Structure 1
Amino acid sequence: MEINPAVTFKHGRKLMFAKRPKVLIVGAGLGGLTLGAILQKSDIPYEIFERAPQVKPLGSAMAFGAATAPMFKQLGIYDEFVALAKFNDSIHFSNEKRQTVYKMEFPNFPDESFSSKLFGADGFIVARPLLYDLMLRQVPTDRIHMNKKVLSTKQGGNGIILRCSDGTEYEGDILVGADGAYSAVRQNLYAELKKADRLPADDALPLPFSTVCLVGQTRCLTAEEFPDIAKENCQFINTLGGDRPYSWSTFTTRQNTVCWGVVLYLDKSSSKLHDSFRNSEWGPEAASAMCEQVKDFPVVSGGVKKLTFQDLINWTPKELISKVMLEEKVFETWYDCRTVLLGDACHKFNPAGGAGAINAMHDAITLGNYINALPHHPTAEEITEAFKAYREERIPWVQEAFDTSKIFRVMASKTILGKIIRFCAKYMPASMQKKSAIRMNANRPQIAFLPKAEDKGLERPAPQTSLSAMTPADEQEDVTPAQAV
Structure 2
Amino acid sequence: MTTPFAQHNHSQAPSPQHVDPSKKRPKVLIVGGGLGGLSLGMLLQQTDIPYEIFERASKPKALGSAIALSAATDALFKQCNIYDEFTSLGKKVLALQVIANEQRRVDYKMDFSNQEKVLGATGHAIARPALHDLLFRQIPKDKIHMSKKVLSTDDQGDKGITVAFSDGTSVTGDILIGADGAYSAVRQNLFKRLKAQNKLPAADDVPLPYRTVCLVGQTRPLDPTVFPHLLKDDCQFINTLGESQPLAWITLTTPQGTVCWSIVRFIEVSHTSVDDKNKDASVDQEWGPEAAEAMCNEVRHLPVMSGNESRPWSLGDLIDHTPKDLISKVKLEEIVFKTWFGGRTVLMGDACHKLSPAGGVGCQNAMHDAIVLANWINALPSSPTSKDIEKAFQSYQDERLPFIATAAKSTQFYSTMASGGVAAKIIRFCAKHMPEWAKRRMLVVLAGNRPQCSFLPLVEDKGSIPPAFQPSLLATKPKMTVSYDAASV
Contact 1:26-1:178 at 8 Å conserved across structures: yes
Residue in structure 1 matched with residue 439 of structure 2 by the alignment: 433
Partner amino acid, structure 1, of 2:244: D
Instruction: Say whether residues 1:124 and 2:129 are aligned partners.
Output: no
- SS across alignment from 1:205: coil
Contact 1:119-1:457 at 8 Å conserved across structures: yes
- SS across alignment from 2:107: strand
- SS across alignment from 1:286: helix
Contact 1:228-1:235 at 8 Å conserved across structures: yes
Give distance in 2, aligned partners of 1:346 and 1:361: 13
1:92 to 97, 115, 119: 97
Question: What is the CA distance between 1:126 and its match in structure 2?
Answer: 0.7
- SS across alignment from 1:263: strand
Give distance in 1, aligned partners of 2:246 and 2:438: 30
Residue in structure 2 matched with residue 193 of structure 1 by the alignment: 194
Residue in structure 1 matched with residue 214 of structure 2 by the alignment: 213
Residue in structure 2 matched with residue 411 of structure 1 by the alignment: 417
Residue in structure 2 matched with residue 76 of structure 1 by the alignment: 81
CA gap 1:392/1:414 in 2 versus in 1, 3 angstroms: same
Question: What is the CA distance between 1:135 and its match in structure 2?
Answer: 0.6
Instruction: Say whether residues 1:154 and 2:148 are aligned partners.
Output: no
Residue in structure 2 matched with residue 459 of structure 1 by the alignment: 465
- SS across alignment from 1:244: coil
Greater displacement, 282-291 / 143-152: 282-291
List aligned pairs for 1:214-253, cutoff 5 A: 214-253=215-254
Residue in structure 2 matched with residue 480 of structure 1 by the alignment: none
Give distance in 2, aligned partners of 1:164 and 1:302: 50
Instruction: Say whether residues 1:61 and 2:74 are aligned partners.
Output: no
User: 5+ residue gaps in structure 2?
Assistant: 1-20, 480-489
- SS across alignment from 2:245: coil
Question: What is the CA distance between 1:428 and its match in structure 2?
Answer: 1.1
Question: What is the CA distance between 1:442 and its match in structure 2?
Answer: 1.0
List aligned pairs for 1:70-469, cutoff 5 A: 70-94=75-99, 95-106=101-112, 113-155=113-155, 156-268=157-269, 276=279, 279-280=283-284, 281-304=286-309, 305-469=311-475
Residue in structure 2 matched with residue 110 of structure 1 by the alignment: none
Give distance in 2, aligned partners of 1:167 and 1:74: 38
Greater displacement, 91-100 / 401-410: 91-100
CA gap 1:330/1:435 in 2 versus in 1, 3 angstroms: same
TM-score (norm 1): 0.90
- SS across alignment from 1:259: strand
CA gap 1:357/1:146 in 2 versus in 1, 3 angstroms: same
Give per-residue Cα distances to partners, 1:135-184, cap 9 Å, x unaligned.
Answer: 11111111000000000001122200010011101010000000000000
Partner amino acid, structure 2, of 1:391: Q
TM-score (norm 2): 0.90
Contact 1:27-1:177 at 8 Å conserved across structures: yes
Give distance in 2, aligned partners of 1:58 and 1:22: 30
CA gap 1:195/1:217 in 2 versus in 1, 3 angstroms: same
Larger CA Rg, structure 1 vs 2: 1
Give distance in 1, aligned partners of 2:275 and 2:296: 18
Contact 1:351-1:405 at 8 Å conserved across structures: yes
Give per-residue Cα distances to partners, 1:57-81, cap 9 Å, x unaligned.
Answer: 3110111131100111000011111
Give distance in 2, aligned partners of 1:419 and 1:279: 34
Give distance in 1, aligned partners of 2:342 and 2:282: 28
Give per-residue Cα distances to partners, 1:354-400, cap 9 Å, x unaligned.
Answer: 11000000000000000000011100000000000000000000110
How high is the sequence identity, in percent, across the aligned residues?
55
Give per-residue Cα distances to partners, 1:386-444, cap 9 Å, x unaligned.
Answer: 00000000000011001101111111111211111111111111111112212222100
Taking CA–CA contacts closer than 8 Å with sequence separation of 6 or more, which of the two structures ends up with the larger relative contact order? 1
- SS across alignment from 1:288: helix
Give the superposed CA RMSD. 1.9
Contact 1:234-1:253 at 8 Å conserved across structures: yes
Contact 1:333-1:346 at 8 Å conserved across structures: yes
Give per-residue Cα distances to partners, 1:12-62, cap 9 Å, x unaligned.
Answer: xxxx98420000000000010000000000100000001111122311011
Question: What is the CA distance between 1:114 and its match in structure 2?
Answer: 2.7
Give distance in 2, aligned partners of 1:363 and 1:381: 21
Partner amino acid, structure 2, of 1:236: F
- SS across alignment from 2:47: coil
Question: What is the CA distance between 1:85 and its match in structure 2?
Answer: 0.8
Question: What is the CA distance between 1:188 and its match in structure 2?
Answer: 0.3
Give distance in 2, aligned partners of 1:335 and 1:384: 8
Partner amino acid, structure 2, of 1:153: T
CA gap 1:170/1:424 in 2 versus in 1, 3 angstroms: same
Give distance in 2, aligned partners of 1:169 and 1:326: 32
Question: What is the CA distance between 1:273 and its match in structure 2?
Answer: 7.0
- SS across alignment from 1:362: helix
Partner amino acid, structure 2, of 1:205: V
Residue in structure 1 matched with residue 4 of structure 2 by the alignment: none
CA gap 1:127/1:424 in 2 versus in 1, 3 angstroms: same
Partner amino acid, structure 1, of 2:24: K
Partner amino acid, structure 2, of 1:254: P
Partner amino acid, structure 2, of 1:441: A
